[in-house]
Structure 1
Amino acid sequence: MYAMLSTIETDRLSQGDSVNLSVAFPLRRYIEEGAAEAMLGGRRHAITMRGTACMALSLLDTYGAAPYDSYPAEGVNYDALARGVNAMARRSQSLSHLRRQVGDMLDSRMGALPQRVYMLHAQYSFGEFARSVYAQDYQALTSFTHHPFGRRVVLELPDNHRRDSFLNVPLDTLMHAIDRALDQGYAVCWEGDISEPGFSFSRGVATLPHSPRYDQQLRQRWFERRQTTDDHCMCIIGRAHDRQGHPYYIAKNSWGTDNPFGGMMYISRDYIRMKTIAIVINNETCHIRL
Structure 2
Amino acid sequence: MKKVILSIFVVVFAVLANAQEPYKFNEVINLEATPVISQGNTGTCWSFSSTSFLESEIIRLTGKQIDLSEMFTVRNTYPMKAENYIMRQGKAQFSEGGLAHDVLNAVEKYGIVPNSAFNGLLQDENRHNLSELVAILRSMVETYVKNPNGKLSKKWRAAIDGVLTAYIGGNPTTFEYDGKQYTSASFLEMTTLNPKDYVSITSFTHEPFYSKFVLNIPDNWSNGSFYNVPLNDMIATINYALEKGFTVELDCDVSESTFSSKAGLAVVPTFSENNKKALEGIYPEKQITQKYRQDEFENFTTTDDHLMHITGVLKDQNGTTYYKVKNSWGTDPNRNANGGYVYFSESYMRLKAISVTLHKQAIPKKIATELFIE
Q: TM-score, normalised by structure 2?
A: 0.72
Structure 1 residues 106, 151: CA separation in 2 closer, same or farther (over 3 Å shift)?
A: same
In the alignment, the residues of structure 1 paired with residue 103 and residue 292 of structure 2 have an alpha-carbon distance, to the nearest angstrom, of 30
Deviates more, 1:81-90 or 1:192-201: 81-90
**Residues 208 and 271 in structure 1, CA contact (< 8 A), matched pair in contact too:** yes
- What's the offset of the Cα at 1:91? 4.1
Partner residue in 1 for 2:252 = 192
Structure 1 residues 40, 167: CA separation in 2 closer, same or farther (over 3 Å shift)?
A: closer
**Residues 199 and 359 in structure 2, CA contact (< 8 A), matched pair in contact too:** yes
User: Tell me, what secondary structure is at the counterpart of 2:91?
Assistant: helix
1:135 to 194, 199, 209: 194
Q: How many residue pairs were aligned?
A: 290
Partner residue in 1 for 2:158 = 100
Partner residue in 1 for 2:19 = none
User: Tell me, what secondary structure is at the counterpart of 2:116?
Assistant: helix
Structure 1 residues 110, 122: CA separation in 2 closer, same or farther (over 3 Å shift)?
A: same
**Residues 267 and 285 in structure 2, CA contact (< 8 A), matched pair in contact too:** no
1:250 to 316, 324, 328: 324
1:110-158 deviations in Å (ceiling 9; x for gaps): 2222112433333333233234432122121111111111111111111
- What are the ranges of 5 or more consecutive residues in structure 1 without an aligned counterpart? none
**Residues 9 and 19 in structure 1, CA contact (< 8 A), matched pair in contact too:** yes
Find out whether 1:49 has 2:109 as its counterpart. no
**Residues 261 and 337 in structure 2, CA contact (< 8 A), matched pair in contact too:** no
Find out whether 1:12 has 2:61 as its counterpart. no
1:32-89 deviations in Å (ceiling 9; x for gaps): 2233444454443463111122221122122222111110113342342122122233
2:119 to 72, 82, 92: 72
**Residues 252 and 306 in structure 2, CA contact (< 8 A), matched pair in contact too:** yes
- What are the ranges of 5 or more consecutive residues in structure 2 without an aligned counterpart? 1-46, 122-126, 270-283
In the alignment, the residues of structure 2 paired with residue 275 and residue 45 of structure 1 have an alpha-carbon distance, to the nearest angstrom, of 25
Q: In structure 1, what residue type is equivalent to 2:158?
A: R
- What's the offset of the Cα at 1:24? 0.9
Look at both structures and tell me which one has the larger radius of gyration over its CA atoms.
Answer: 2
Partner residue in 1 for 2:6 = none
- What's the offset of the Cα at 1:103? 2.6
In the alignment, the residues of structure 2 paired with residue 239 and residue 100 of structure 1 have an alpha-carbon distance, to the nearest angstrom, of 47
**Residues 251 and 267 in structure 1, CA contact (< 8 A), matched pair in contact too:** yes
Partner residue in 2 for 1:25 = 72
In the alignment, the residues of structure 2 paired with residue 81 and residue 119 of structure 1 have an alpha-carbon distance, to the nearest angstrom, of 29
Q: TM-score, normalised by structure 1?
A: 0.92
User: Tell me, what secondary structure is at the counterpart of 2:325?
Assistant: strand
Deviates more, 1:280-289 or 1:253-262: 280-289
Partner residue in 1 for 2:263 = 203
1:201-248 deviations in Å (ceiling 9; x for gaps): 111100001346311121111111112111111101001112232211
Partner residue in 2 for 1:150 = 210
**Residues 52 and 309 in structure 2, CA contact (< 8 A), matched pair in contact too:** yes
User: Tell me, what secondary structure is at the counterpart of 2:255?
Assistant: coil
In the alignment, the residues of structure 2 paired with residue 276 and residue 132 of structure 1 have an alpha-carbon distance, to the nearest angstrom, of 32
Deviates more, 1:80-89 or 1:135-144: 80-89
In the alignment, the residues of structure 2 paired with residue 168 and residue 78 of structure 1 have an alpha-carbon distance, to the nearest angstrom, of 34
**Residues 202 and 229 in structure 2, CA contact (< 8 A), matched pair in contact too:** yes
Deviates more, 1:40-49 or 1:59-68: 40-49
2:314 to 240, 243, 249: 240
2:137 to 85, 89, 97: 85
Q: CA RMSD in A?
A: 2.0
**Residues 93 and 221 in structure 2, CA contact (< 8 A), matched pair in contact too:** no
